[in-house]
Each structure stands twice: as C-alpha cells, then as structure tokens.
C-alpha cells in the first residue's frame, strides 16, 4: 500500500540558528549542502523555505522545474499543493462563519438541498472539516479504487452536484462524529457548501477570503480549468526507477476543495503570517481550527506535539501533507517559535521526514544521521534484465555487506517495490515485496503491498492470503477489505 505513516516530525527550529559557536560553518551553507545531497541522490526535486518571525532564512529550489528543457526550480516556482488545499478550505470556512454566512453546526442537507437527506441531516460542517463525517472517500470506494476513479473522471466535465451525487453520497461507514477517517469526499462537499453560501465558485471564494487579503498573487486553483497553462508552474513528474516521467492526466475539478490549488513557498509564508493576525482570523476561530480532535486532526490541520528544541523540548506543530503520484508537499507551522517550513516536491514521493530531521540536527549543532543511498540506485537496467530473483538476491547481499550505506527501512523498500510496479515490472516488485515482508513480518502495510503485487501478476490465491494477513495485522486497513472483496468476487 502507498501509505504515508504519521510519525512525529522533527521540524526546522531556528531559535539558535545564529548563536555564535553553534556551528563552525555558516548553518545556512550547511543546510544548502545537506539538501543538495538529497537532490544528488534523487530524493528531492522541489522548492523549500524556512522562516522565523516572517523573515526568510532559506528559500531555494533543488532540481528541475522542467527536466526536458533544463529549467531549474526557483524559490518562486509554482507547484501543486494537493491536499494542503484543505488548509485553505478550512480557513475560508472559518472566515465565512465569522461573517455570519456559515455555521459549523449546520447540516449538509440544509446547506445543499439536493444532497441525500437521510445522511446529510446527520452530518455537520464541523464533521466535514474534521474528517469525522463517516462518508466514504471517493478514492477508496469498494470495487472502484483510485485507478477506477481516475479512469471514470480523467477527462469528463465535472458538475458539482452531479459529481457529489455519484461520488460523495455513499452510505455512511460510521456514525458522524464517532471516528476519524480521512475523506476527500467531505472536502469536495465543503467546496460545494462554500460556493453556495458565498454565491461564488469555490476558487473565487478562496481568492476573495484568503488570497487577496494576504497578497498571495502566486497562488491559484486548477479546479475551474484543469488543463490551464499557468505561467511559472513547474512540470510534475513520476519516478520510474532511476528515470522520471511526466505526470499523467488528472482532472483537478474532481478535487476542488480537497486538493486543486497550487502555490509558491513564498506565498505560503504569507499564508502563515496571516494566520497570526486577529484582523484576518480571530483567536477563537484559530483555537477551534488548531485544537486536535479524533485522529490528531483539527479542522483542516494535523496537530502534533513534537520534540524540536534543545533537550528535545516539545512544541506544537500545525501541519498538512499534500500527496499525488507526482507531488509530495508539507506545510509546517510552529506557532510557539513563529517557525514556518514549506517544502514542495514536484517529482513524486520524497523522504520529507528525513530532510527535516537532518536540517534540525544541523541547526542545533548536531551531526545529522548519514544519508543512506536509495535502493533504486542498486537496481541497474542490466540487473533488472536478469530477473526478479537476481534483483532480490542483490538487495539481500547489500544488506549483509553494506547495510550502513543503503536505506533498508520499510518505507524505502516499499518505495522500491512501487517503483518497479510503475515501471511495469510487477514480477520484480513481488520479489521486492517478499523481501519486505521477510524483513517486516508484523507490518500490515508490507503485506498489503505484497498483495497488490501478487494481484497484478494474477496470483489470486496468494494475493488473498497476503491481504488477509494485512487485515489481521491492521484491522483498520480499508484497502485490504476492498481488495479482498474484489478478489473474492472474481
């Protein structure tokens, strides 16, 4: 499974950045060299900003905005935000509530009269904001899944009511307010609600409520025209082993308030700074938005307590991830220290946590952990041509002889398996996933990945066993439930 596990994040913490004697070398130069190493290893291709008290410490691009034309990334390059869009949706809803145009306790069916009343009369705006509505996520509908959803929606025009009726109106999976379950469908409905109460299309409402007041001139939305050519926008890429491939089509109108926006790291700093101003958003609204509920999620934000400072003192971290196959982004805020960190990667999955951990070590005069080489570097085209068992044998050999130089973490091995899947090498992927479950036998995610690989090879019985083991280890794994249903119906 392509899962991004929530773990405590070590965030850039800069209060000691300029104290004399902390580092023999300029910390900014150290940061730059460290991040350039990630780029060299193919682990980072994006833009990054670190700021404190609204002042930029580091703002730079690492890699390419257009690989074919050799155009480098700059700090002002526009990149998709994906699900970081949800933070803008939440702030827009809060501002509309302050203006008396929206109540967070209002029922969905009262705000959207065409929505099914048997469920909509039980779901509030607050439930949608906090991912506790119980509505099924349109990316995980049993028997359809992300691939099926993409096939049906990739080019079709999207009318909000028509789309919501088909994709955001399933029977509830839990009683509203009882369980956290990340849900893009709920945020799509929020986009429809914002449009209804404001009398403006969602992108225009966000612009009027957030972008214009904060001077965010380099931020926009692709929902109205998913194929629009945006000046200064980076191309987006998917990894294929050691190579990159331009991103496939995606109808951003289907994301709407769940993930259709783009921005620059500099504009995201303007957003960060605006969230400290009572004139923009009241303290009461901020407190409501930034209070952790079920699943550690507030209203549009993940809330964490993470060890950041000297002696690993804990600080509150407000954050959100954005992920598509061709973008991986994170927006971090540390209000107690007025720290803002933004990283927008335009070339697929990236080890953002490792970047943060290493940067924090540098800022506090600690030596960062050695940067391990990604296993994809060990899988050459010549090795691939020799077959899956040879590839798996090479990985096992490296673990025995050079374990300290290569990344053998669960995440890294899983990522290699999916690189092989995306490259059309399902047989090699299965060999990698078998190694993965040998190394991490108690990981439900590892067994889920093996099940996906086996299913791709048509090995139904083995896939069923793998998914069943995944579900046994992780009873909350919806993907395993859906895949077992699909496989058993064949």
The C-alpha atoms of residue 1 and residue 450 are separated, in whole angstroms, by 8
- Please determine, for residue 175, whether its predicted confidence score (pLDDT) is greater than 90: yes
Highest mean pLDDT among 140-149, 210-219, 305-314, 373-382: 210-219
Q: What residue ranges do the domains of the chain occupy?
A: 1-371, 375-488
Q: Which CATH class is domain 375-488?
A: mainly alpha
More reliable by pLDDT, 451 or 4 = 451
Q: Residue 321 pairs with which residues in a beta bridge?
A: 330
Main-chain dihedrals φ then ψ at residue 358, nearest 5 degrees: -65, -40
- Please determine, for residue 21, whether its predicted confidence score (pLDDT) is greater than 50: no
DSSP state string for 107-125? BHHHHSTTS-HHHHTT-BH
The C-alpha atoms of residue 112 and residue 197 are separated, in whole angstroms, by 10
Which residues neighbour 475 within 8 Å (Cβ) at sequence distance 6 or greater? none
Q: Which residues are catalytic?
A: 83
* Per-residue pLDDT reduced to its tens digit, 320-372: 999 988 899 999 998 988 889 899 999 988 888 788 778 777 777 778 888 88
What pLDDT, on a 0 to 100 scale, did the predictor assign at position 341? 87
What pLDDT, on a 0 to 100 scale, did the predictor assign at position 126? 98
Q: Residue 341 pairs with which residues in a beta bridge?
A: 50, 332
The secondary structure of residue 337, as a DSSP letter, is G
Task: Look up the pTM and report it.
Answer: 0.84
Lowest mean pLDDT among 118-127, 365-374, 391-400: 365-374
Which residues neighbour 397 within 8 Å (Cβ) at sequence distance 6 or greater? none
CATH 3.40.190.290 for the 1-371 domain, yes or no: no
Q: Are the C-beta atoms of residues 2 and 417 closer than 8 Å to each other?
A: no
The C-alpha atoms of residue 159 and residue 345 are separated, in whole angstroms, by 30
Query: Percent of the chain at pLDDT above 70?
Result: 93
What pLDDT, on a 0 to 100 scale, did the predictor assign at position 309? 67
Q: Are the C-beta atoms of residues 70 and 240 closer than 8 Å to each other?
A: no
> At which residue do the structure tokens 């950041």 appear?
308
Which residues neighbour 303 within 8 Å (Cβ) at sequence distance 6 or greater? 290, 291, 292, 296, 297, 316, 317, 318
């Amino acid at each position: 499974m392509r899962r991004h596990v929530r773990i405590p994040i070590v965030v850039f913490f800069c209060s000691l950045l300029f104290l004399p004697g902390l580092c023999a070398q300029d910390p900014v130069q150290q940061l730059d060299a460290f991040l350039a190493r990630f780029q060299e290893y193919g682990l980072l291709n994006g833009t990054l900003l670190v700021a404190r008290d609204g002042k930029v410490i580091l703002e730079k691009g690492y890699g390419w905005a257009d690989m074919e034309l050799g155009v480098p990334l700059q700090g002002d390059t526009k990149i998709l935000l994906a699900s970081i869009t949800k933070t803008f949706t939440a702030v827009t809803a809060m501002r509309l509530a302050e203006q008396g145009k929206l109540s967070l306790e209002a029922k969905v069916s009262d705000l959207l009269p065409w929505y099914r009343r048997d469920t909509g009369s039980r779901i509030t705006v607050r439930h949608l904001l906090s991912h506790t509505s119980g509505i099924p996520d349109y990316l995980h509908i049993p028997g359809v899944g992300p691939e099926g959803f993409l096939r049906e929606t990739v080019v079709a025009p999207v009318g909000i009511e028509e789309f919501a009726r088909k994709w955001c109106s399933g029977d509830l999976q839990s009683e509203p307010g009882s369980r956290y379950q990340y849900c893009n469908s709920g945020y799509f409905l929020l986009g429809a609600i914002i449009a209804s109460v404001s009398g403006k299309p969602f992108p225009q409402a966000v612009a009027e409520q957030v972008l214009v007041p904060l001077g965010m001139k380099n931020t926009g939305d692709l929902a109205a025209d998913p194929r629009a050519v945006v000046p200064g926008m980076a191309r987006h890429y998917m990894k294929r082993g050691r190579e990159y491939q331009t991103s496939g089509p995606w109808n951003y109108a289907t994301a709407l308030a769940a993930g259709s926006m783009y921005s620059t790291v500099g504009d995201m700093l303007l957003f960060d700074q605006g969230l400290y101003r009572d004139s923009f958003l009241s303290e009461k609204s901020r407190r409501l938005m930034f209070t952790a509920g079920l699943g550690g999620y507030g209203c549009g934000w993940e809330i964490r307590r993470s060890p950041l400072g000297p002696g690993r003192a804990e600080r509150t971290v407000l954050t959100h991830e954005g992920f598509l196959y061709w973008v991986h982004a994170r927006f971090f805020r540390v209000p107690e220290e007025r720290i803002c960190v933004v990283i927008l990667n335009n070339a697929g999955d990236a080890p953002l946590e490792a970047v943060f951990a290493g940067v924090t070590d540098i800022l506090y005069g600690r030596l960062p952990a050695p940067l391990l080489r990604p296993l994809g570097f060990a899988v050459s085209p010549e090795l691939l041509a020799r077959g899956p068992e040879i590839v798996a044998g090479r990985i096992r050999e490296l673990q025995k002889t050079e374990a300290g130089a290569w990344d053998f973490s669960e995440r890294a091995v899983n990522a290699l398996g999916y690189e092989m899947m995306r490259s059309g090498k399902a047989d090699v992927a299965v060999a990698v996933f078998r190694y993965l479950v040998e190394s991490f036998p108690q990981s439900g995610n590892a067994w889920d990945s093996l099940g996906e690989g086996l299913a791709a090879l048509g090995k139904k019985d083995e896939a069923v066993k793998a998914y069943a083991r995944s579900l046994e280890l992780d009873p909350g794994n919806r993907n395993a439930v859906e895949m077992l249903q699909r496989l058993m119906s064949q």
